[in-house]
Structure 1
Amino acid sequence: MALSRADTSTLGRWWWTVDRWTLAALLSLVGFGYVMLLAASPGVAERIGASSRDMFILKQVFFLAAATAVIVVISVLPVKQVRRLALLGCLGALLLTMATLSVGVEIKGARRWLHLPGVTIQPSEFMKPCFAVVAAWLLSEGKNWGIKAHGALGLLFLAIVAVLAKQPDMGMLMVVASVFCAQLFVVGINIFLVGACGVVGILGAVGAYFAMPHFRDRLNRFLDPASGDTYQVTVAMEAFGHGGMLGVGPGEGRLKAMLPDAHADFVYAVAGEEFGLLVCLMILGLFGFIVLRGLLRLLGERDMFVILGATGLLTQFGLQAFINMASALHLIPTKGMTLPFVSYGGSSVIAVAIGMGMLLALTRRRISRSAQDEE
C-alpha cells in the first residue's frame, strides 16, 4: 500500500498510526483459518450429515472474510467510539445471553446458543471483548466517579458471572474473571483484595466440582484417564505423534476423521498431524507475538483507559488460545473453547475480530491526548 505520510485522509492516518505488525500477524492467523477449514471441515460435514459440504465450508469462508473486514473497520475508530461500541455491545450481549436461559438451544447440557434465521449465535462470545473495554473504562473513571464507577462495574460483573454460571459455561466464566483480575492487577488493587479474589475463585472451583457433574467428570478424567472416556484427547495425542516434525501433508491426515470436534476444539491436533510440529510452533508463535507486541505497544502509553482496555483484550486473546492448545495437548482438562481465527465457528470468529479491532484502535499511535480527544 503506497500511502504518503503527508496523506491526511482517514485511510492515510490509519495506515501510519495502526500497528501494522500486529495487523499482519492477525491476517496470518486468518490465513491459517482458511487452510485448517479446508483440512478439517469436509470430513466433519459428512459425518454430521450437513446438507451440503460446500455450503458448510463456504459459510466459514464468509465468516473469516467478514472478520477481516471487522478488524479493519473497528481499528479505524477513535477511542471514544470504541468505548461507546463496547458499552452497547456489552449490554446487548448480556441481554441476549440472559435470553438463552429461557429460549436458548440446549446442546450437551448447556444453554448457550440462540437460533436466528439462518444462523445460530453464542451471545456470550461477544460479551467477552466488550466487557474488557467497559471494565477498563469504569476502572479508569474511578478517580472521577468514585464509588459510582466501581459499584456499576461490580454489578455488571456479578450479572455476567450469574448468567454464565446458570448456562452453565465455566470456561467462559473463567476467561471473563481472569481478564477482570488482570485489569485489577494493572490498575493497582490492594494486595489483600487480590488474595480475597483468589480465595473466592478457589471456593468457586470447589463448589463447581461438587455441584456440576460435567465439570467434575472432566477434571476427574484429566487427573485419572482410567476414570472415564478420554477418546478425543487420546486420538488428538496420536495425531500429534503421527504428524511428527513436518506432518503427513495437507489433506492426508487420517486421525481427523475420528475426532468429532476436529474442526473446532481439536483443530490444533489436525494441524499437528497434517503440517507437523514446525507449523504448530508457528501458530503458537503468532499468538505469542500478538500478545507481546501489544503489551510492548503500551509501554509509552499514559491513558489508563487504553492501558487497561488493551491489557484485557490481550489477556482474553492469549488465554483463549492457550486453553484450546493446552486442551488438545492434554496439558489441562478439556474445554470446549475455539482457537481464535483458526477453529470453525461464526460467533467466535466475529467476536475475536471485534476484540482485535478494538485492540488495534486503542494502540494506534497518537501525537497527544488532545489530538486523541479530537478524534
Structure 2
Amino acid sequence: MSGLSRINTSQAARWWRSIDRVTLICVGILIGFGYILMLAASPAVAVRIGASRDMFIFKQVCFLLLAAGIVIATSLLSLRGVRIAAWVGFVLALGATFLTLVHGIEIKGARRWIALPMMSVQPSEFLKPCFAVVTAWLLTVRKERRYFPGLLVAFGLFGVVLLLLKSQPDIGMLSVITTVFLTQLFIDGLSLFLVGAGAASMVAAFIGAYMVFPHVRSRVERFLHPAVGDHYQIDTALRAFGNGGLLGRGPGEGRVKDLLPDAHADFVFAVAGEEFGMLICLFIIGVFAVMVIRTLLKLLRENDPFIAVATAGLMTGFGLQAFVNMGSTLHLIPTKGMTLPFISYGGSSAMSVALTIGMVLALTRSRLGEGRFGQFGQAPSSNRKVPS
C-alpha cells in the first residue's frame, strides 16, 4: 500500500486512511462467500424451475458487483450527504412500497415486489437503512432546535411505515424496523420503562399477528409443535448440517440444493453447512459478529449523537437480519423469509445491505481516520454538531 502512504494526498489515499478497513475487508469476505455459495447452490435450483443453469449466477455476479460499488460510493459521502441520501431514499422507498399495494406482484399472499426488466424489486428493503438515518437525524436535531418536534415526526413516520408493511403484509420486515427504532430511542435517552413498554407493545403486536395472519400462525405452530404441519424445508436443512459435519462433504457434493426450492436464497446457510462444514459456518458467523460488535463498541467513544444513533440503528438492522436468516435455518426461531446479507441470492437485498454498510462506513469514517486529517483533509473536531 505504498501508493496510499501518509505522504499521498490523493482522494483515494485519504479515503483509505480514514475508512474502517476491518469492516471493508469483512464485506469483501462476505461477497466472496456469496459468489462461492451461489456457484454451489443456484445451478440445481435453476434447472429445477426450467431456467438456464447459470441464470442465477450471472444475475448475482451483477448484483454483488453493483453492491460493492454502492458500498464504496456511499462511503465517500459526508455526514450531510448521508442525511440527504437517506431522506431521498426514504421518500422514494416509501412511495414504491405504497405502489406495491396497487401494482405489486403477489407471491404467497403478500404484495412486496415491483416487477422490473430482468428482476423484481422489494422497496421495503431500502426502508431499513434510510429510516434508521432519518430517525437518527430527527431524534438528535430536536436537541439543537428547541421547538423542532423531531420525536413526534419520527413516530409519525414510523406509523406510516407500520401501516404500509402491515398492509402488504410483511411482519418480518416490520419487526426489524421496529427493533431498530426502539434501539435508537433507547440510545437517544429514552427511559428503560418506556423501552420496556415498547417491547411489550411488540409482544402484543406479535400476538395480534398470530391471531390475524394465517401464515404467521402456521409458522409459529410448526416451530412450537414439531408434530404439527409440514416441516420439510427445516428438516431438510437440519439434515444438511448433520451431513456436513465439521469439514463438510466438499464443494459441489451437497444434496440440499437439489431438494430445497430456496436453497440459493433463504436456506443458503444450509448449503454452506453441508458442503463446507461447521467450521466455515462458524467463520461466517464470526465475520458478521466482528462487523456488528466492533462497530457498536466504537460508538462508545463517539461524541456526535447523530453518528451514534444512526450507526447503532444501521448495524442493529444488519445484525438482526443475519441472525434471523441463520437462526431460522437452524430452527432456533420460526422460519422467516429473510436473506443472509451479501450471501443469499437477491438484488434488492444485496443493494440495500450495501447501502447500509456504505452509510456506516461514511458515518464512522472521520473518527477512524489516521493522522490529523481524518475525513478527506478536514481536521476532526471533538465538538461536532448535529448536521443541519
TM-score under structure 2 normalisation? Answer: 0.93
Equivalent residue number for residue 381 of structure 2:
369
Equivalent residue number for residue 275 of structure 2:
274
Equivalent residue number for residue 81 of structure 1:
81
Equivalent residue number for residue 189 of structure 2:
188
Is the Cα contact below 8 Å between 1:78 and 1:372 reproduced in 2? no
Equivalent residue number for residue 200 of structure 1:
201
Q: Which has the higher helix share?
A: 1
Listed as ranges, the gaps of 5+ residues in structure 2 are 368-373
Structure 1: how far apart are the matches of 2:308 and 2:9?
26
Aligned-pair CA distance for 1:296: 2.5
Structure 2: how far apart are the matches of 1:249 and 1:141?
53
Is the Cα contact below 8 Å between 2:304 and 2:384 reproduced in 1? no
Listed as ranges, the gaps of 5+ residues in structure 1 are none
Is the Cα contact below 8 Å between 1:239 and 1:256 reproduced in 2? no
Number of residue pairs matched by the alignment: 373
Q: Is residue 10 of structure 1 aligned with residue 22 of structure 2?
A: no
Aligned-pair CA distance for 1:195: 2.5
Is the Cα contact below 8 Å between 2:46 and 2:55 reproduced in 1? no
State, as a whole percentage, how many aligned pairs show the same letter.
55
Equivalent residue number for residue 59 of structure 1:
59
Q: 1:320-359, aligned counterparts within 5 Å?
A: 320-359=321-360
The one-letter code of the counterpart of 1:113 is W
Is the Cα contact below 8 Å between 1:132 and 1:309 reproduced in 2? yes
- CA deviation string 1:245-303 (max 9, x = no partner): 00000011012211111001110000000000000000000000000111122232110
Q: Report SS of the residue matched to 2:300.
A: coil
| RMSD of Structure 2 on Structure 1 (CA) | 1.5
Structure 1: how far apart are the matches of 2:130 and 2:301?
24
Aligned-pair CA distance for 1:372: 7.1
The one-letter code of the counterpart of 2:236 is V
Equivalent residue number for residue 105 of structure 1:
105
Equivalent residue number for residue 298 of structure 2:
297
Q: 1:1-375, aligned counterparts within 5 Å?
A: 1=1, 2-50=3-51, 52-145=52-145, 146=147, 148-364=149-365, 365=367, 366=374, 367-369=379-381
Aligned-pair CA distance for 1:117: 2.5
Structure 2: how far apart are the matches of 1:369 and 1:353?
28
Structure 2: how far apart are the matches of 1:154 and 1:14?
36
Is the Cα contact below 8 Å between 2:121 and 2:347 reproduced in 1? yes
Runs of 4+ displaced beyond 3 Å: 369-373
Structure 2: how far apart are the matches of 1:42 and 1:114?
25
Q: Report SS of the residue matched to 1:150.
A: helix
Structure 2: how far apart are the matches of 1:136 and 1:6?
36
Structure 2: how far apart are the matches of 1:291 and 1:257?
33
Aligned-pair CA distance for 1:368: 2.1
Q: Report SS of the residue matched to 1:264.
A: coil
Aligned-pair CA distance for 1:185: 1.1
Is the Cα contact below 8 Å between 1:79 and 1:372 reproduced in 2? no
Q: Report SS of the residue matched to 1:299.
A: helix
Structure 2: how far apart are the matches of 1:119 and 1:328?
25
184-193 or 225-234, which moves further after superposition? 184-193
Q: Report SS of the residue matched to 2:143.
A: helix
The one-letter code of the counterpart of 2:164 is V
- CA deviation string 1:342-371 (max 9, x = no partner): 000000001000000000010112442389
Q: Report SS of the residue matched to 2:227.
A: helix
Structure 2: how far apart are the matches of 1:301 and 1:14?
20
Structure 2: how far apart are the matches of 1:206 and 1:337?
20
Q: Report SS of the residue matched to 1:368.
A: coil
The one-letter code of the counterpart of 1:369 is S
Q: Report SS of the residue matched to 1:138.
A: helix
TM-score under structure 1 normalisation? Answer: 0.97
